[in-house]
């Protein structure tokens, strides 16, 4: 992976208002053995609870989505979500730290598929996600800003 792309994505996630609001932090973005890998963390806070006092599904989805977004845009071309399917496995403990890991399964000129998993800080699977990205074929608009 081009280091300038990697650096630009880290900077954009750190500056993104929504990621900052939910305390989402990109901690790793790299090309693995054959595919892209992304890891994002979030510590649950009381303002992320649903009406039952549990982590809101939207907060967990947001964590998964940032892992997806960073992985699918790591090629340096703009990619957007076409489909995202989430299965919630277990409720996390309040105020725990969650980690989402996105792995690229396939990547063509127009689409890319990702497997994303969210774990709590004890390694328990919280949610599983399959996502499909549309690759627009245009450079990331913020690459020229650095």
pLDDT of residue 22: 94
DSSP string, 30-87: EE-SSSEEEEEEEE--GGGB-TTSSB-HHHHHHHHHHHHHHHHTTTSEEEEEEEEEEE
Q: What are 92-114's pLDDT values in tens digits?
A: 999 999 999 999 999 999 999 99
Would you kindly state where each structural domain of the chain is located, as residue ranges? 3-141
Q: What are 4-39's pLDDT values in tens digits?
A: 999 999 999 999 999 999 999 999 999 865 578 899
How many whole angstroms separate alpha carbon 84 and alpha carbon 101? 15
- Helix (H) or strand (E) holding 2, with range, is none
| Alpha carbons within 13 A on the beta-carbon side of 116 | 35
| pTM confidence score | 0.94
DSSP state of 4: H
How many whole angstroms separate alpha carbon 34 and alpha carbon 8? 22
How many whole angstroms separate alpha carbon 113 and alpha carbon 138? 18
Q: What are 28-83's pLDDT values in tens digits?
A: 999 865 578 899 999 999 999 999 999 999 999 999 999 999 999 999 999 999 99
CATH topology of domain 3-141: Thiol Ester Dehydrase; Chain A (3.10.129)
């Amino acid at each position: 992976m081009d280091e300038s792309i990697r650096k630009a994505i880290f900077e954009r996630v750190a500056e993104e208002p929504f990621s900052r609001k939910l305390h989402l932090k990109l901690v790793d973005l790299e090309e693995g053995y054959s595919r892209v890998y992304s890891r994002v963390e979030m510590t649950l806070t009381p303002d992320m609870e649903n009406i039952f006092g549990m982590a809101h599904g939207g907060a967990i989805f947001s964590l998964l989505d940032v892992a997806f977004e960073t992985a699918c845009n790591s090629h340096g071309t703009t990619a957007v979500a076409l489909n995202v399917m989430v299965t919630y496995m277990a409720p996390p403990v309040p105020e725990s730290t969650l980690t989402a890991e996105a792995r690229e399964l396939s990547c063509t000129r127009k689409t890319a598929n990702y497997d994303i998993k969210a774990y709590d800080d004890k390694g328990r699977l919280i949610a599983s996600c399959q996502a499909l990205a549309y690759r627009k074929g245009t450079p990331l608009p913020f690459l020229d800003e650095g």
